[in-house]
């Protein structure tokens, strides 16, 4: 019995060794086959055959889409929402098409700011030279003259521009949730001047160098040792795989450099003149900048951040940083936080303004009393 078990164990051991050897050989053969395939792929030709050219319509009408009476983007013929995967298995082409539509949407929102909201475009810096990069903002007619209150709207980082909260919402949901227009209209109804900033246009991006070519990865014959040449082949195969992945995915194709547009930092003016700041799922970080203790204290008193959370709207949440209070925006979707907290934000502003108005008469009274007492003392001295 023992002899039988021993023989069986030996047989299994030999079989396991054989299977491992076969598996290792198969892996090596697969790797060799992949290297051989990659070495014979002409990526330029593959691009031509596999992908249509990146030529897209220049207007919503040519895209065959339009916004309906509810501010929803719909296909002119079918009435269906926007379809991202217009062509199956062409993710990169679909992404480029989506980005082209996004640029049209940006111009469409600019037109709404001017026509629907009666705002004007102002270029910055105001003293820019002819060859200097410039940005622009939008102002309501009374933005610079309103004696009572001014609402300043600033979108988050990314591809969004002046007047937008989230491109995805504009395209897939509606204009109300994705743009700043409801905020602008309500602010105007409540007597605010309005200023729409455009912080993602703070630089001019220019091409730095041409994109990499698969020819850059070709190896010339040499008298190098076989082992060294094999390592080099592996590195080149890796580069080709990376290049192929970059081709398949919608990443930047060119290296660019950014020419900054002149900016000013006026911390004290902001702290002295701003009454309240509403943030919506803000990704700011006080430790990434040189933030003073005074600024942190100011943020604690005058700021509030409506963040994505499963909790009901306006539920107080634990602070993550010593900067400003956090409350729930009533949604777990980051892009919806501005729209979902719309009413709460204006209520917050109203409460802060009311408190400020109640404080000012007291400050004036104290100031008059102090000056009167000072004059009385001077008279007694005389």
At 43-86, the pLDDT tens digits run 555 554 567 888 899 999 999 999 999 999 999 999 999 999 98
| Cα–Cα distance measured from residue 280 to residue 303, given in angstroms and rounded to the nearest whole number | 11
Which two three-digit tokens encode residue 240? 């080709």
Which residue in this structure is represented by tokens 């410039």?
Answer: 134
Rounded to whole angstroms, how far apart are CA atoms 175 and 66?
12
Query: Within 10 A of 117 (CB to CB), how many other CB atoms are there?
Result: 19
Contacts of 310 (CB under 8 A, 6+ apart): 328, 332
Look at the alpha carbons of 174, 179, 184, 186 in this order and tell me if their dihedral is positive or negative. Answer: positive
Residue 123 half-sphere exposure toward CB, CA atoms < 13 A: 8
Residue 218: predicted pLDDT: 39
Q: Which whole number is the average pLDDT over 140-147?
A: 96
Residues near 379 by beta carbon (within 8 Å), at least 6 away in sequence: none
pLDDT digits (tens, 9 = 90+) for 317-352: 988 777 789 999 999 999 999 999 999 999 999 999
The reported pLDDT for the residue numbered 41 is 58
- Going by pLDDT thresholds of 50, 70 and 90, the confidence category of residue 380 is very low
Q: Which two tokens stand for residue 280?
A: 């919506």
Among 146-150, 213-217, 271-275, 283-287, the range scoring the smallest mean pLDDT is 213-217
Sheet hosting strand 316-317, strand order edge to edge: 277-280, 303-307, 326-328, 316-317
The answer to which of 115-124, 195-204, 299-308, 373-382 has the lowest mean pLDDT is 373-382
> Residues near 290 by Cβ (< 8 Å), separated by ≥ 6?
none
pTM of the model: 0.68
Sequence-separated (6 or more) residues with CB below 8 Å from residue 27: none
The ranges assigned to domains in the chain are: 17-50+211-253
Q: What is the pLDDT of residue 103?
A: 95
Closest CA to 72 of 170, 161, 180: 170
Q: Does residue 102 carry a pLDDT above 80?
A: yes
Asked if 101 and 64 touch (Cβ cutoff 8 Å), the reply is no
């Amino acid at each position: 019995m023992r002899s039988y078990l021993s023989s069986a164990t030996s047989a299994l051991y030999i079989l396991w060794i054989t299977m491992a050897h076969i598996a290792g050989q198969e892996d090596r053969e697969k790797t060799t086959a992949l290297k051989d395939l990659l070495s014979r792929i002409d990526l330029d030709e593959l691009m031509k055959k596999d992908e249509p050219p990146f030529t897209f319509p220049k207007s919503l009408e040519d895209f065959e889409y339009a916004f309906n009476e509810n501010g929803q983007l719909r296909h002119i013929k079918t009435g269906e929402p926007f379809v991202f995967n217009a062509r199956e298995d062409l993710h990169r082409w679909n992404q480029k098409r989506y980005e082209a539509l996004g640029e049209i949407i940006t111009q469409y929102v600019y037109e709404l700011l001017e026509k629907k909201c009666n705002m004007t475009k102002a270029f910055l810096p105001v003293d820019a030279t002819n060859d200097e990069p410039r940005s622009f903002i939008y102002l309501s007619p009374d933005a610079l003259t309103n004696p009572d209150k001014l609402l300043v709207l600033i979108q988050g980082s990314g591809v969004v521009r002046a007047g937008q909260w989230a491109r995805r919402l504009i395209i897939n949901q509606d204009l109300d949730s994705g743009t700043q227009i409801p905020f602008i209209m309500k602010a105007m109804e409540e007597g605010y001047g309005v200023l729409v900033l455009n912080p993602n246009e703070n630089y001019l991006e220019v091409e730095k160098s041409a994109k990499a070519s698969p020819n850059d990865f070709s190896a010339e014959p040499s008298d190098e040792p076989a082992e060294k040449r094999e390592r080099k082949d592996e590195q080149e195969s890796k580069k080709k795989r990376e290049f192929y992945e970059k081709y398949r995915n919608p990443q930047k194709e060119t290296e660019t450099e950014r020419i900054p547009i002149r900016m000013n930092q006026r911390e004290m003016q902001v702290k002295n003149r701003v009454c309240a700041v509403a943030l919506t799922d803000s990704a700011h970080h006080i430790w990434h900048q040189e933030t003073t203790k005074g600024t942190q204290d100011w943020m604690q008193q005058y700021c509030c951040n409506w963040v994505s959370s499963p909790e009901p709207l306006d539920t107080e949440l634990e602070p993550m940083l010593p900067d400003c209070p956090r409350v729930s925006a009533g949604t777990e979707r980051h892009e919806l936080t501005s729209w979902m907290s719309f009413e709460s934000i204006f209520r917050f502003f109203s409460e802060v303004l009311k408190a400020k108005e109640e404080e000012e008469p007291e400050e004036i009274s104290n100031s008059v009393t102090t000056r009167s007492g000072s004059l009385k003392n001077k008279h007694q001295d005389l």
